[in-house]
């Protein structure tokens, strides 16, 4: 091979197509409220919010942050085995959660405490899994909110199949706002590397399923940065699967709400899936067992603190006279009350009964498993009265 050989073209230069990486989310970032609390407008996704709506979103975020802080403290006190923190992702979760209608169905990861809050789930219910007394103690159909799924990305396929079920039930694209429904599938930047997530994209695109793939790109999959998962902005992957992808400022509750609302409506209308990348940052650790100081710079965390989702809305509310001192004081009191309820409720959660596990494996318990249960019951009973 001679030095003067012409290099073949392998398509366009990717750096030119996608542009350089942007710490601020890049020019495509959809935003309605800047980190400084300035209201900005967007040609496609602008929405008017009433004072009550803004206060409601603010209240949601403050309370779920308190839930997160309390749960983290409960883990430190040994009341929870582990806790998956949402700190910094309140806007992404509340924005998405409040965009739902009651007939929509949500498939969460194990970090969607804010979305659970929006679905009306008692936050105490979220603690059971982390305390080790259950694997999720709510009926998904009571809240249209599935149990937390721990295997990364597995739930995106369930979401797609559920959406295919909705299509067969005739609740997509009828034009009836009380009937048409969609699915919201949560996952993270790490999950975007999973085969299941990519298969979910393919199935959803192929069947035009009414599902919104809502990815909270919090920049970190435990210790691995987003660059290890993707060489292009995640939302741009959607195009390759044949449906639109959008990047929204995930620390902007207004923009996240507006974009998710539009994507869900598109799905309900029968126009198929949308990928929403909520560009955010995991301010806390992956879980309470993680130590982020081993792999990321304090300066990065400090940079993202300036983009705090709650602080920017607080600035906006105060600057525009949308919340008086009583509003903020009452909310603080409400958060304190929530904290108290969580602390006391968590400590009061009973351990499960050992024999219950046998009855839950199958809808119809096989005789041999029933015999195993009876044998274990006899064994346990043999200790009664022993010292």
Partner 1 sequence: MVSTSSTGQKVTLAKGLNLGLRKAMEADDKVLLMGEDVGKLGGVFRITDGLQKDFGEDRVIDSPLAESGIVGTAVGMAMRGYRPVVEIQFDGFVYPAYDQIVCQVAKIHFRSKGRVKMPMVIRIPFGGGIGAVEHHSESPEAQFAHTPGLKVVACSNPVDGYWMIQQAIAHDDPVIFLEPKRQYHADKAELDETATPAPLFTSKVVRPGSDATLLAYGPTVKTCMKAAEAAAGEGRSLEVIDLRTLSPLDMGPVLDSVRRTGRAVVVHEAHVNLGMGAELASRITEECFYSLEAPVLRVGGFDTPYPASRIEEEWLPDLDRVLDAVDRSLEF
Does the annotation count 282 as an active-site position? yes
Nearest CA to 200 among 107, 105, 99, 111? 107
Residues 204-263 that bind partner 1 (CB under 8 A): 206
Asked whether position 330 contacts partner 1 by CB under 8 A, the answer is: no
Residues 160, 219, 251, 260: which binds partner 1 (CB under 8 A)? 160
Distance CA 148, CA 220 (A): 20
Binding segment for partner 1 (CB under 8 A), chosen from 35-43, 164-172, 248-256, 290-298, is: 164-172
- Which two structure tokens, joined as six digits, stand for 274? 């949308």
Q: Is 357 exposed, middle or buried (0-12, 13-18, 19+ CB in 10 A)?
A: exposed
Question: Of 154 and 317, which has the nearer Cβ to partner 1?
Answer: 154
Question: Of 162 and 279, which has the nearer Cβ to partner 1?
Answer: 162
Residues 116-155 that bind partner 1 (CB under 8 A): 134-137, 139-141, 146-147, 149, 151, 154
Tracing tokens 């997160």 back to the chain, one arrives at: 68
Residues 180-199 that bind partner 1 (CB under 8 A): 195-196, 199
Distance CA 80, CA 127 (A): 8
Q: Which of 111, 113, 119, 282 is catalytic?
A: 282
Query: In 287-366, which ranges are E strands?
Result: none
Q: Which of 119, 286, 312, 373 is catalytic?
A: 286
Total residues in contact with partner 1, by rule CB under 8 A: 44
Q: What angle do CA 157, 159, 164 make, to 5 degrees?
A: 95
Binding segment for partner 1 (CB under 8 A), chosen from 29-37, 119-127, 330-338, 358-366, is: 358-366
Asked whether position 26 contacts partner 1 by CB under 8 A, the answer is: no
Look at phi and psi of residue 232 and say left if phi exceeds 0, alpha if psi is from -120 to 50, else beta: beta
Does the annotation count 281 as an active-site position? no
What are all long-range contacts of 232-239, with beta carbons under 8 Å and residues at least 24 apart? 232/14, 232/18, 233/18, 233/26, 233/28, 233/277, 234/189, 234/192, 234/275, 234/277, 235/28, 235/275, 235/276, 235/277, 236/18, 237/192, 237/201, 237/275, 238/201, 238/213, 238/274, 238/275
Residues 120, 165, 177, 354: which binds partner 1 (CB under 8 A)? 165
Q: Considering the complex, what minimum distance in angstroms separates the CB of residue 108 from partner 1? A: 13
Contact residues for partner 1 (CB under 8 A)?
134-137, 139-141, 146-147, 149, 151, 154, 156-169, 195-196, 199-200, 202-203, 206, 357, 359-364, 366-369
Residues designated as active site: 282, 286, 295
């Amino acid at each position: 091979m001679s030095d003067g050989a012409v290099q073949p073209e392998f398509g366009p230069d990717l750096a030119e197509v996608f542009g350089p990486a942007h710490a601020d989310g890049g020019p495509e970032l959809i935003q309605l409220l800047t980190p400084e609390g300035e209201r900005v407008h967007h040609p496609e996704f602008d929405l008017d919010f009433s004072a009550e709506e803004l206060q409601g979103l603010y209240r949601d975020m403050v309370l779920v942050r308190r839930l997160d802080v309390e749960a983290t403290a409960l883990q430190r006190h040994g009341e929870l085995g582990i806790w998956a923190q949402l700190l910094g992702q309140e806007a992404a979760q509340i924005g998405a959660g409040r965009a739902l209608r009651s007939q929509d169905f949500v498939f969460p990861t194990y970090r969607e405490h804010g979305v659970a809050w929006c679905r009306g789930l008692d936050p105490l219910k979220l603690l059971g899994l982390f305390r080790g007394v259950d694997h999720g103690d709510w009926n998904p159909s009571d809240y249209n909110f599935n149990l937390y799924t721990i295997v990364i990305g597995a739930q995106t396929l369930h979401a797609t199949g559920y959406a295919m079920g909705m299509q067969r039930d005739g609740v997509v694209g009828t034009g009836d706002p009380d009937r048409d429904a969609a699915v919201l599938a949560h996952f993270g930047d790490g999950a975007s590397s999973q085969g299941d997530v990519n298969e979910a994209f393919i199935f959803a695109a192929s069947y035009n399923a009414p599902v919104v793939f809502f990815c909270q790109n919090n920049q970190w999959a435990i210790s691995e940065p987003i660059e290890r998962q993707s060489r292009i902005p995640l939302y741009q992957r959607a195009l390759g699967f044949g449906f639109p992808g959008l990047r929204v400022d995930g620390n902007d509750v207004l923009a996240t709400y507006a974009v998710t609302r539009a994507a869900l409506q598109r799905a309900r209308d029968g126009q198929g899936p949308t990928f929403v990348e909520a560009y955010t940052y995991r301010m806390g650790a992956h879980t309470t067992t993680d130590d982020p100081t081993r792999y990321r710079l304090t300066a990065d965390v400090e940079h993202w603190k300036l983009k705090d989702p709650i602080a920017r809305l607080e600035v906006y509310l105060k600057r525009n006279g949308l919340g008086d001192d009583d509003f903020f004081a009452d909310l603080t009191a409400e958060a304190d009350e929530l904290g108290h309820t969580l602390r006391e409720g968590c400590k009061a959660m009973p351990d499960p009964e050992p024999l219950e596990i046998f009855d839950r494996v199958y809808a119809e318990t096989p005789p041999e498993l029933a015999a195993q249960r009876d044998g274990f019951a006899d064994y346990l009973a043999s200790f009664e009265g022993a010292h």
